[in-house]
Structure 1
Amino acid sequence: MSLPILFALLLGGFVLLLVTADYLIRGAAALARKWGVPKLLVGLTIVAFGTSAPELAVSVDAVLEGQPDVALANIIGSNIANVLLILGVPALIFGAIGVTTPGLRRNAIVAFAATVLLIGLSWDGLVILRDGLILLAVLILYLLWLYRDARKPEIADPQIAELTDFEEMEAMPHSWLRIAGMILIGVIGLPLGGVMIVKGGMGVAYAAGVPPAVVGLTLFALGTSLPELAASVISAARGHAEVAIGNVLGSNLFNILAVGGIASMVGDIPVTQQFFTVEFWLMLGTTGLLALLIFMRTKLNRFIGFAMLAGYAGYIYWLARLTLG
């Protein structure tokens, strides 16, 4: 295929992925409510998993297409971008993002622990079915923990509140026909968007002589993180910037535990040696830095936002120099 066609395939895949992921979440959530499933269970399963639907579609398809290293690169790249870019932008624009919201400390600890777990499971150079089962088991334990806390009226966790507030989503379907249509669009469009992104991105990578893992760390990671970026900027503009931190922690958790778990159950994922040189430690460092800021109750001001964005720009520049010489 020519480069224009490959770029069109890539861009069209991102648009299709983001639109159909939203359709699938709203349709599935509406269906569950029609069947009488409690809001809390719907929020902690369908809505929570939906936040990582783009990463899941791309990572699973990468494994199926014979590019398993791209799956792990997408997870790592998305988590790095979530902290440095997704939080850096609203912090730089609006400043003073609070970190004292209830539940943030707990979620920061779990996100850091999940990052350590992923690195540990990758230490032998391969993430396999057994590792995927471990990641999913940890995810289930975490969701049970959230479920237990959510049932206690004295605990006010905005992360849980947001997950269970899905009925406020725009154009939430109510009729059986609309619900079925949205689910069908999501079920068909989500994997199709993943296929288009992987095929288009890999084609561009081969044409430009860029290693597939680098594409996963940058292009795929940025594209699948667009919903989080939009959500964080909108939240900050509405005066609820602290919600962005909870979203990032939740997204990073699900990227590791859900996306990593499911992708490694589809096929074995080899771990590129470069990940042990830079990427794993950058992901661990950024997650640890965010956790430290939360525990120190240090607001994300414009200086910190600028430092985050500068750090991300420096990382992308380093990758470009390393790849292109």
Structure 2
Amino acid sequence: MVGILLLILGGLAILVAGAELLVRGASRLAAALGISPLVIGLTVVAFGTSAPELAVSLQSTFNGQPDLAVGNVVGSNILNVLLILGLSALITPLVVSQQLVRLDVPIMIGASVLVWVLALDGAIGQLEGGLLFALMIGYLLFLFWQARREQNPAVVAEYSQEFVADEPKSAGRFLLNGFYVVAGLAMLTVGSRLFVQGASELARLFGVSELVIGLTIVALGTSLPEVAASIVAAIKGERDIAVGNVVGSNLFNLLSVLALTALFARGGVPVSPGALALDIPFMVAVAIACLPIFVTRNLIARWEGALFFGYYIAYTAYLLLDATGHPSAARYFDFMLIFVAPLTVITLMVSLWREWLRRRERKMAVQATR
């Protein structure tokens, strides 16, 4: 047992350190090559924080453990919204930009639904992985185009301070940052191997499925960069970065991590009936729930953060009850489905209706003053 925990913790530490080195080296190399800080923040850093998920998912697939790979992506997306945004909003209400509401969140919902549809036949094939990655390329091109049009000096200054270090440009610095990238990639490879080995042995030790381990322990471990980035951003008052980081990470998980895993795996990535019956639909529901919550006053209030956090605890509790064969698992699931979920939907719809009335009244008041 001690050896398994050392594998998991050691692999996780190497993963996180590797991701940090990769982000640091790549962002500074990009800055030295004249790429704008805004583009670096939207692309290089966002991809870097998803690097642990990519490394673990690829390693799991190559090891013949596709449930870990699928559980990692699905579990990370659920955790990003419910746990990370939940905890961040409990610290301080989070600001949601108009672009997230109008563009990024709908794209996240569409990508989640598309993955569900593609997985309905029991696998995400190589061609389907290629389709998802092509959508990622299109999204990145749009981000580049949008960043070139960004004229707000406050936004540019924020990204410059956040993602690009002010350092002298020299051949030595260039080589050092290149070394950071190579070392980061190497550490991601080694860390993912150790982490996947430890997680699979833990699943065998407790008789729990690899899907459940992927949805919980692996998802939490690979999401640590997002956890740290969002909570620190919330504490520092950078509340828009906390939300944008989560939405961007979820998009990268679906359109890059899962896509590349399916693309490089021979025969694609199999998707288990359990993931199709519960976990992927729940991921889609969580993505859809973001829209009414984000729209209301363009803010995630503390009570909404508590709602997110409560659902993560409830979901994890059901996974553990079901995995251990507890007799109350079925009753617990029925209670959540019949009572809690409809009550939540009604609450969100009422909030959305009140927000529509508020905006309508404000629009009428503006028209009346003209």
CA gap 1:213/1:169 in 2 versus in 1, 3 angstroms: farther
Which residue of 1 is the match for residue 321 of structure 2?
321
Is 1:299 the counterpart of 2:299 in the alignment? yes
| Letter of the structure 1 residue corresponding to residue 126 of structure 2 | L
CA gap 1:19/1:83 in 2 versus in 1, 3 angstroms: same
Distance 1:169 1:229 in 2: 26
| Letter of the structure 2 residue corresponding to residue 119 of structure 1 | W
1:98: Cα distance to partner? 2.2
Which residue of 1 is the match for residue 45 of structure 2?
47
1:153: Cα distance to partner? 3.7
Is 1:145 the counterpart of 2:145 in the alignment? no
Which residue of 2 is the match for residue 126 of structure 1?
123
Contact 2:119 2:276 in 1 (8 A): no
TM superposition outliers: structure 1 runs of 4+ over 3 Å: 32-45, 100-104, 153-165, 168-174
CA gap 1:38/1:154 in 2 versus in 1, 3 angstroms: closer
Which residue of 2 is the match for residue 99 of structure 1?
96
Larger radius of gyration: 2
Distance 2:54 2:167 in 1: 23
Counting only pairs closer than 5 Å after superposition, residues 78-227 of structure 1 correspond to structure 2 as: 78-94=76-92, 96-153=93-150, 162=159, 165-168=162-165, 175-227=173-225
1:162: Cα distance to partner? 4.0
1:100: Cα distance to partner? 3.9
Deviations 1:238-275 (A, max 9, x none): 11223211111000000000001110012121111112
Contact 1:90 1:236 in 2 (8 A): yes
Q: What residue ranges of structure 1 are gaps of 5+ in the alignment?
A: none
Contact 2:39 2:143 in 1 (8 A): no
1:160: Cα distance to partner? 12
CA gap 1:160/1:140 in 2 versus in 1, 3 angstroms: farther
| Letter of the structure 1 residue corresponding to residue 113 of structure 2 | V
Q: What residue ranges of structure 2 are gaps of 5+ in the alignment?
A: 326-370
Query: Tell me, what secondary structure is at the counterpart of 1:87?
Result: helix
Greater displacement, 246-255 / 300-309: 300-309
Which residue of 2 is the match for residue 32 of structure 1?
30
RCO comparison, higher one (Cα < 8 Å, 6+): 1
1:64: Cα distance to partner? 0.7
| TM-score scaled by length of structure 2 | 0.80
Contact 1:232 1:243 in 2 (8 A): yes
Query: Tell me, what secondary structure is at the counterpart of 1:151?
Result: helix
Deviations 1:63-88 (A, max 9, x none): 01110121111000000000000001
Paired residues, what number? 322
Contact 1:83 1:286 in 2 (8 A): yes
CA gap 1:153/1:265 in 2 versus in 1, 3 angstroms: closer
Distance 1:139 1:299 in 2: 27
1:304: Cα distance to partner? 1.4
Query: Tell me, what secondary structure is at the counterpart of 1:210?
Result: coil
CA gap 1:98/1:179 in 2 versus in 1, 3 angstroms: closer
Contact 1:42 1:164 in 2 (8 A): no
Distance 1:293 1:71 in 2: 29
Deviations 1:172-220 (A, max 9, x none): 9971342233123212111111001100110111011011111100000
* Percent of residue pairs bearing the same amino acid type: 37
The structure whose residues are more often helix, as a share, is: 2
Query: Tell me, what secondary structure is at the counterpart of 2:94?
Result: coil
| Letter of the structure 2 residue corresponding to residue 275 of structure 1 | A
1:7: Cα distance to partner? 0.8
Distance 2:27 2:190 in 1: 21
